[in-house]
Chain A
């Protein structure tokens, strides 16, 4: 494997981690809001808070990891995406900032009674807007929206908004967030032996499974129109998408039965994992079609080696920490069921 391949694999894996962790987070925000509006507030709100509170900062780290790694391995990405995405990127930063800060303010800075509906609405809305916004990068990476002319990088807003592929990834992002999140939270509620919350969340999970698969198919066929070269490469890797579909069926089966939900969530991760890596693999060698090719814009060898070494060393810190936090919070029966003292 070349450094370029190692680099892009590391980055793609981070992004996958972000998708799973952030989906749970973003979807939870939306469900929390939805539950306030429909009066289910107390039933699922506690479950959501108990899961999210200790991990809220971690989600952001995955995104920053990805961004720093991308710029590090492929410095041209900073140039093209950086120049073209000033507006979209800034809006995404603002949304992330509002969500992150107000989550902390509300969770750590106030008592339960003070939670305002405005805040919940903001939290729910950003939970859908952020993934929608971030997902458009996938559409942009297919080419045709960022153009280089006369030594300047330009962003074609008209093409961006009128392109059906842009909208197909936005829809896919939103429904996937709701699906992944509901699948996880239903599992978490079941673990907490919270029947009320489990029933509602199971309903959400099953409700969103249909649109998820439809949106995936829609996006799949839009790629054919947008970038036929990419589509053909996807056909070559079609077994990965078939595997993804099978794991989807397994996950939904467990959810319908209401048992083995831990395995069910692993199936959800495999479902998205296969689709994600299948998509990513067939997108190569381009990070931005046709300007950034991983083999041409890879950083120098010494930096690539140093980054890979640091990455390996970093994992030695990160993986035990994740295991520890899971044992303390996720798989700790006392904490999950709410008997343990909450915050200092």
Chain B
């Protein structure tokens, strides 16, 4: 028991840390881009409403970045504290992207500090805007590098394993493995989607609360259209990821799809429950769809779980995660599309209440899809930590204190998240956009 416990507890602690971290990390990647869009639009068209939008977003952004930074430090150090054997072996191959990530993070950190403290300090109105470019680039580059590490764990290459030591390591080959393109693209696009969805939610919430200033309508327009664009891109890349899985990680796809027998013209199963003897009940079967999804042809042969050794099979519950993620993904495209078509919808109001409620729901939906996607991806490569090379049990720490550390970190994250929500709500409640527009001498109260 004591030898197995640290493994399970280490997994749980890593999951908890990552669960919290990716919320703030995804905003950290996407929100700078949205701020950049808003300020650029504001400066270019000389519309101060957009500049104010950028300013208010930036203020809230720093608060969330703080949690992103501290949970990021946590997961970084926990890699060695909880998975020392993994780091000892794989450290030789993944050190490079980890190192590059910290440089990207450095650029982001330093320019964010400058950006926040130099409003109205430069004569040229574009100078301040330029400071945001390294922030947006830095945060996306961090996501890029760290995701290559995860891609490597899914498709390890660029080394030979001899007596438990990596030899002949080619760090760049390890970094640019077959999993990298789809993973990185999917992570970036979905982070942008999550961030645009969050900001859409805030704008829609304000209008729902009865605030009529044109500022909110501009905010909603910018964010909802961005959310639509990013969500469509994410969905397209998601399709490529499916094709990647079929080719390189068939175990994950087969488990996700409850695809037990290798065959051509494979059907796609949506929903359902798994009975005894692995019969699928109540599921919707779409003929040929899985073959088309996996290989663009109804005759594509999709490898089933029959070809996967029993002890290398991922848990079958990932099917539910996959279906839920895909369904939420579809909603993320439809809801902003409804907003864009609002003038053609039946009814007289351009901002009907139900539409605003849906737009508010965009943020939790996007976050749910994001979390589900990551859990699906990570659990889907069980039992491996390095697919094909090292199993999770072999990598975990032997320390007996993981349990108490788990409790400690759960308390820490709870406190941090609750404080973050309190600080953010106070920050925006104490100083409404209308008040700030008046302070800054912008035309106030014109209702369009």
Q: Do A and B belong to a common assembly?
A: yes
Q: A98-B412, A109-B424 are in contact. Are A303 and B92 (CB under 8 A)?
A: yes
The answer to whether A321 has its CB under 8 Å from any CB of chain B is yes
B114 touches A109 (CB 8 A): no
The answer to whether A228 has its CB under 8 Å from any CB of chain B is no
Report B392-434 CB contacts with A as 1/0, cut-off 8 Å. Answer: 0000011101101100110010001001100110110010000
- Interface-located stretch among B97-105, B177-185, B186-194: B97-105
A76 touches B70 (CB 8 A): no
The answer to whether B113 has its CB under 8 Å from any CB of chain A is yes
The answer to whether B93 has its CB under 8 Å from any CB of chain A is yes
Chain A min CB distance to B149 (Å): 11
B110 touches A321 (CB 8 A): yes
Report A78-99 CB contacts with B as 1/0, cut-off 8 Å. Answer: 1111110111011101101110
CB contact between A303 and one of B62, B66, B96, B409 (< 8 Å): that residue: B96
The answer to whether B170 has its CB under 8 Å from any CB of chain A is yes
Q: A105-B63, A110-B423, A325-B114 are in contact. Are A71 and B95 (CB under 8 A)?
A: yes
A303 touches B73 (CB 8 A): no
B397 touches A83 (CB 8 A): yes
The answer to whether B67 has its CB under 8 Å from any CB of chain A is yes
Chain B min CB distance to A48 (Å): 15
- Interface-located stretch among A22-30, A259-267, A277-285, A311-319: A311-319
The answer to whether B206 has its CB under 8 Å from any CB of chain A is no
The answer to whether A248 has its CB under 8 Å from any CB of chain B is no
Chain B min CB distance to A62 (Å): 9
Taking CB atoms, residues of chain B closer than 8 Å to A93 are: 73-74, 77-78
CB contact between A68 and one of B65, B82, B102, B112 (< 8 Å): that residue: B102
A78 touches B121 (CB 8 A): no
A307 touches B102 (CB 8 A): no
CB contact between A83 and one of B55, B84, B119 (< 8 Å): that residue: B84
Taking CB atoms, residues of chain B closer than 8 Å to A328 are: 114, 117-118
Taking CB atoms, residues of chain B closer than 8 Å to A321 are: 106-107, 110-111, 134
CB contact between A82 and one of B117, B134, B397, B423 (< 8 Å): that residue: B397
The answer to whether A65 has its CB under 8 Å from any CB of chain B is yes
Chain A min CB distance to B403 (Å): 11
Taking CB atoms, residues of chain B closer than 8 Å to A80 are: 84
The answer to whether A195 has its CB under 8 Å from any CB of chain B is no
Query: Of B62, B67, B93, B170, which is in contact with the most chain A CB atoms at under 10 Å from its CB?
Result: B62
Question: Considering the complex, which residues of chain A in the window 51-68 have a beta carbon less than 8 Å from any beta carbon of chain B?
Answer: 53-58, 60-61, 63-65, 67-68
CB contact between B106 and one of A58, A82, A89, A341 (< 8 Å): that residue: A58
The answer to whether B364 has its CB under 8 Å from any CB of chain A is no
Range of interface residues on chain A? 35 or more
CB contact between A310 and one of B92, B100, B105, B166 (< 8 Å): that residue: B100
CB contact between B80 and one of A82, A101, A105 (< 8 Å): that residue: A82
Closest residue of chain B to A108 (Cβ to Cβ) is: B62
Complex Cα distance A63/B109, Å?
A: 13
B77 touches A67 (CB 8 A): yes
Complex Cα distance A83/B87, Å?
A: 11
Interface size on B, residues (CB 8 A): 78
Closest residue of chain B to A302 (Cβ to Cβ) is: B169
Q: A64-B73, A86-B399 are in contact. Are A71 and B103 (CB under 8 A)?
A: no
Chain B min CB distance to A301 (Å): 9
Complex Cα distance A93/B91, Å?
A: 21
The answer to whether B316 has its CB under 8 Å from any CB of chain A is no
Chain B min CB distance to A230 (Å): 25
A97 touches B113 (CB 8 A): no
Taking CB atoms, residues of chain A closer than 8 Å to B412 are: 94, 97-98
The answer to whether A167 has its CB under 8 Å from any CB of chain B is no
The answer to whether B296 has its CB under 8 Å from any CB of chain A is no
A303 touches B117 (CB 8 A): no
Taking CB atoms, residues of chain A closer than 8 Å to B109 are: 57-58, 60-61
The answer to whether A306 has its CB under 8 Å from any CB of chain B is yes
Closest residue of chain B to A88 (Cβ to Cβ) is: B81
A303 touches B112 (CB 8 A): no
Chain A min CB distance to B87 (Å): 4
Chain A min CB distance to B16 (Å): 13
Query: Of A153, A306, A342, A343, which is in contact with the most chain B CB atoms at under 10 Å from its CB?
Result: A306
A90 touches B113 (CB 8 A): no
Chain A min CB distance to B137 (Å): 11
The answer to whether A18 has its CB under 8 Å from any CB of chain B is no
CB contact between B110 and one of A58, A68, A102 (< 8 Å): that residue: A58
Chain B min CB distance to A75 (Å): 4
Complex Cα distance A311/B304, Å?
A: 45
Complex Cα distance A100/B399, Å?
A: 28
CB contact between A105 and one of B110, B121, B401, B423 (< 8 Å): that residue: B423
Chain B min CB distance to A214 (Å): 33
The answer to whether B297 has its CB under 8 Å from any CB of chain A is no
Taking CB atoms, residues of chain B closer than 8 Å to A63 are: 73
A306 touches B171 (CB 8 A): yes
The answer to whether B58 has its CB under 8 Å from any CB of chain A is yes
Taking CB atoms, residues of chain A closer than 8 Å to B166 are: 300
Complex Cα distance A79/B168, Å?
A: 21
B96 touches A306 (CB 8 A): yes
B67 touches A303 (CB 8 A): no
A341 touches B114 (CB 8 A): no
The answer to whether B324 has its CB under 8 Å from any CB of chain A is no
Complex Cα distance A79/B79, Å?
A: 10
Report A27-42 CB contacts with B as 1/0, cut-off 8 Å. Answer: 0000000000000000
Q: A100-B66, A303-B93 are in contact. Are A72 and B409 (CB under 8 A)?
A: no
The answer to whether A179 has its CB under 8 Å from any CB of chain B is no
Chain B min CB distance to A53 (Å): 7
The answer to whether B438 has its CB under 8 Å from any CB of chain A is no
Closest residue of chain A to B61 (Cβ to Cβ) is: A108
The answer to whether A329 has its CB under 8 Å from any CB of chain B is yes
Q: A58-B110, A68-B76, A321-B107 are in contact. Are A341 and B401 (CB under 8 A)?
A: no
B63 touches A58 (CB 8 A): no
Taking CB atoms, residues of chain B closer than 8 Å to A318 are: 103, 106-107, 110
A64 touches B113 (CB 8 A): no
Report B250-267 CB contacts with A as 1/0, cut-off 8 Å. Answer: 000000000000000000
The answer to whether B443 has its CB under 8 Å from any CB of chain A is no
Q: Could you show 10 A-B contacts with beta carbons less than 8 Å apart?
A: A72-B95, A79-B88, A82-B80, A86-B81, A86-B399, A93-B78, A94-B412, A97-B70, A97-B412, A313-B103
With A76-B88, A101-B66, A314-B103 given, can you name 7 additional A-B contacts, CB distance below 8 Å? A55-B113, A71-B87, A100-B69, A300-B166, A310-B103, A328-B118, A329-B114
Q: Which 9 A-B pairs have the closest CB atoms?
A: A72-B95, A104-B66, A82-B80, A75-B91, A82-B84, A78-B87, A57-B109, A97-B70, A79-B88
